[in-house]
Amino acid sequence: MKKTILGALTVASFGLPAMAQDNIEVTLGVLNDRSGVYADLSGEGSVVAARMAVEDFDAASKGLDVEVISADHQNKPDIASNIARQWYDQDGVDAILDVPTSSTALAVADITAQANKILIDSGAGSTQLTGEQCQPTTIHWTYDTAALAKGTGGAVTEAGDKKWFFLTADYAFGHSLEEETMKIVEESGGEIVGSVRHPFPATDFSSFLLQAQASGADVIGLANAGGDTVNAIKQASEFGITQSGQSLAALLMFITDVHALGAQTAQGLVLTEAFYWDHDDETREWSARFEEKFGSKPTMVHAGVYSGTMHYLRAVEATGSTDGDVVAEWMKANEFDDPLFGEGYVRKDGRVIHDMHLYEVKTPDESTGEWDLYKHVSTIPGEEAFLPMEGSGCAFANES
Amino acid sequence: MSVSDIQAPVNERRPATAGMPMLHKAIFAVLFVLLAILPMLVYPVFAMKVMCFALFAAAFNLLLGFGGLLSFGHAAYFGGASYVAAHASKVWGWTPEASILVGTLAAGLLGLAIGALAIRRQGIYFAMVTLAFAQMVYFFALQADFTGGEDGIQSVPRGELFGLFSVNSNEALYYLVLAITFGGILFLYRIVHSPFGQVLKAIRENEPRAISLGYRVNRYKLMVFVLSASFAGLAGATKSQVFQLASLTDVHWSMSGEVVLMTLLGGVGTVFGPILGATIVVTMQNYLASMGAWVTVIQGVIFVLGVLLFREGIIGVLSKWLKRPL
């Protein structure tokens, strides 16, 4: 597996004399999609983010020899599982970062627990990671589908758009996203006026969009992901749906998707994110440094990898150990105050609790630059955004 | 595409003597010794993956290379069996050998149902029918409750072989997988060189003549289809125990394409070609993982080179040079 070590970065060799010192060796493995549909929102950017965390933490002077390696799991759980096992068994990896797509994340979470290491997941959205398939060594950092449903579904309904129509991808992920959002819309006093299921993947949304338009709904909720969401938004823009007074709500979308669509097409779209580069001075400063190294603005997944790595390194420094249980316990016992996510903490089940934000995509007139895409609508406090731990199905967190 | 274009004629020169030629015996022996010490050289999980795919490609080769039938839907049996085996282990708590067996049986039954319909058509129509059924299996896996949708079936326990020996460690499982795949490949070899295999080749070469000689061609075709599906299932079921998961990757059409690539690269209609082809493809996917998008580019280049320079596959060309069937 030596070849997977991508430009192995040893920070510790700077400035330290070559004399014997009891440094803790830490190897971080960034395992994500580097060639497929999620390569833009995770990919190499996550590796850059992890390295920035190592530099900013100043690991070298704190007695940590940190190395960051990476590999492409190609969104296939068997490849992810193979790499994860090999990293833990042979390459001395202590923590795996990122891991987008829920099937690969669940596979890696399992292996991580067996190996007693740490998984800090930023890219995957499945609530299963801290639900029925939770593991004591899984830290789920950035977002999950429940938080996105809560943010978009709840905040939009409370803001006055009561009638919802759902455009749902016809497979398990779409169904659960639709179900979660419907529940929240109804709890917030909204009404479901209809829903339609489209095949996965779909390219032609015209008949579904016409149904949505005819339903008289205030909001069209897009319970799908990736290419389906992008296609639906493009076609909705051609149908003039947002101009005619209905709004679109994307339930799973990233800034890279919005950037690809452009403000012209995506204007008026509402979506929930954990992080936006233009949120405050600290996120702007960090994002500028990130852009300098990587060439584009960071996504919330990149930001999650950075913050997760920071908190992990703090734990290793404090405990002097890379043992999965020990580090996980420290990470859960100590709150963090992070430049990117604000104040937050890791709950017992591994769910990271931080604020989520509802954004609306700017119109081309409002947008002043290529990446100036969002305006802030509201903040959803972390305690409300994520599912409560009770009743989540996570056995170890709910016992005693 | 006419299937007779892509077969390697080299095997036909083999004298019809009983038993295995010395050369094949020697190669199998070397292969066995190599595989027995392999866990000391490479990572066992990777080696197990290679073996599962080698068996899968060998099963596919039985159908394409010896039956002359090009199926584009072999992922259905491979993936279908991995789902059934994973479900049996995880939900019913069966031992590994029972799970693998029930997965294999399920793939065989699926092959019987699909094969019975598909063999009524030939050439490209046959390929399209198998692809269509495989897509149905894919959508079933995507939608059904027990398959877990796009999450797949995760954390499948490895359990204890016959309820006695734990195969939780990679090393223990390795030798189980070695026994299954090596046994499977030897069995496939035996099928090919049996009277049944001879009839298959006759049908592949000239179907009307085989009919005129009194063979019930469709029964032979169905039989080889079911055998191929069962062994593909055996490979898939074993893989689900190795990786402790069954996922959509295994039933996706690209998996059907991958096995075609492995078989063509190694050599259609050769004994050792699929094994080498599977080794090359899986090794590339694994060791080039850090190169991201370049993996598919490199795979494409190798395939183009293979088609241009080794039309009969690597082993096929080698066998031509040596003037001996391999």
Does residue B155 lie in a domain region?
Answer: yes
Q: Does B254 touch chain A (CB under 8 A)?
A: no
Q: CB count, 10 Å around CB of B155?
A: 17
Q: Which residue of A has its CA nearest to B140?
A: A171
Q: Do both A115 and A210 map to the same domain? A: no
Closest to B85 measured CA to CA, from B228, B241, B229, B242: B241
**How many Cβ contacts (< 8 angstroms) between chains A and B?**
112
pLDDT-based confidence at residue B148 (cuts at 50, 70, 90): confident
State the DSSP code for A362: P
Query: What does the pLDDT look like over B296-324, one tens digit per residue?
Result: 788 888 888 888 888 889 999 999 999 88
Does residue A394 lie in a domain region?
Answer: no
Residue-level pLDDT at B168 = 85
- For the ranges A201-210, B37-46, B181-190, B286-295, the maximum mean pLDDT occurs at B181-190
Query: What does the pLDDT look like over A58-90, one tens digit per residue?
Result: 998 999 999 999 998 888 888 899 899 999 999
Q: Do both A196 and A292 map to the same domain? A: no
Which residues of chain B lie closer than 8 angstroms to A202, CB-CB? none
Which residues of chain B lie closer than 8 angstroms to A77, CB-CB? 152, 154, 243, 245, 247, 249
Q: Is A224 helix (H, G, I), strand (E, B) or coil?
A: coil
Residue-level pLDDT at A21 = 53
Does residue B220 lie in a domain region?
Answer: yes
> Structurally, how many domains does chain B consist of?
1
- For the ranges A69-73, B58-62, B267-271, the maximum mean pLDDT occurs at B58-62
Does residue A297 lie in a domain region?
Answer: yes
Continuous H helices in B62-95: 75-90
pLDDT surpassing 80 at residue B123: yes
Residue numbers of the domain that contains B208: 8-322
Q: Do both A366 and A332 map to the same domain? A: no
Q: Do both A227 and A336 map to the same domain? A: no
C-alpha to C-alpha distance for B53 and B236, rounded to whole angstroms: 8
Does residue B292 lie in a domain region?
Answer: yes
Residue B259 sits in a domain of what CATH number?
1.10.3470
Residue-level pLDDT at A400 = 58
Instruction: List C-alpha distances in Å: B257 to A106, B50, B60, B75, B249.
Output: 26, 17, 11, 8, 12
Beta strands in A178-228, from DSSP E residues, in sequence order: 191-198, 219-223
Q: Do both A233 and A365 map to the same domain? A: yes
Q: Do both A208 and A288 map to the same domain? A: no
Q: Is A163 helix (H, G, I), strand (E, B) or coil?
A: strand
C-alpha to C-alpha distance for A162 and B125, rounded to whole angstroms: 52
Q: Do both A330 and A226 map to the same domain? A: no
- Determine the distance in angstroms separating the CA of A177 from the nearest CA of chain B, rounded to an integer: 13
Closest to B137 measured CA to CA, from B14, B259, B47, B233: B233
Q: Do both A228 and A327 map to the same domain? A: no
Does residue A397 lie in a domain region?
Answer: no
β-partners of residue A138 are A119
Identify which of B45, B149, B152 has the shortest CB distance to residue A77. Answer: B152
Q: Do both A56 and A166 map to the same domain? A: no
Q: Do both A348 and A360 map to the same domain? A: no
User: What ipTM did this prediction achieve?
Assistant: 0.78
Query: What does the pLDDT look like over B219-261, one tens digit per residue?
Result: 999 999 999 999 999 999 999 999 999 999 999 998 999 999 9
Q: Does B296 touch chain A (CB under 8 A)?
A: yes
| Mean of all residue pLDDT scores within chain B | 89
Q: Do B250 and A78 touch (CB under 8 A)?
A: yes
Which residues of chain A lie closer than 8 angstroms to B249, CB-CB? 76-78
Given a cut of 70, the residues of chain A with pLDDT beneath it are 1-21, 400
> Structurally, how many domains does chain A consist of?
2
Q: Do both A171 and A254 map to the same domain? A: yes
Residue numbers of the domain that contains A122: 2-143+280-353
Closest to B255 measured CA to CA, from B111, B126, B71, B121: B71
Does residue A396 lie in a domain region?
Answer: no
User: Exposure of B92 by Cβ count < 10 A (0-12 exposed, 13-18 middle, 19+ buried)?
Assistant: exposed
Does residue B270 lie in a domain region?
Answer: yes
Does residue A212 lie in a domain region?
Answer: yes
Residue A185 sits in a domain of what CATH number?
3.40.50.2300
> Which site among A1, A103, A173 would you substitute to test the B interface, given the most B Cβ atoms closer than 10 Å to its Cβ?
A103
Average pLDDT value for residue range B253-277: 93
Does residue A119 lie in a domain region?
Answer: yes
Q: Do both A83 and A184 map to the same domain? A: no
Does residue B3 lie in a domain region?
Answer: no
State the DSSP code for B153: B
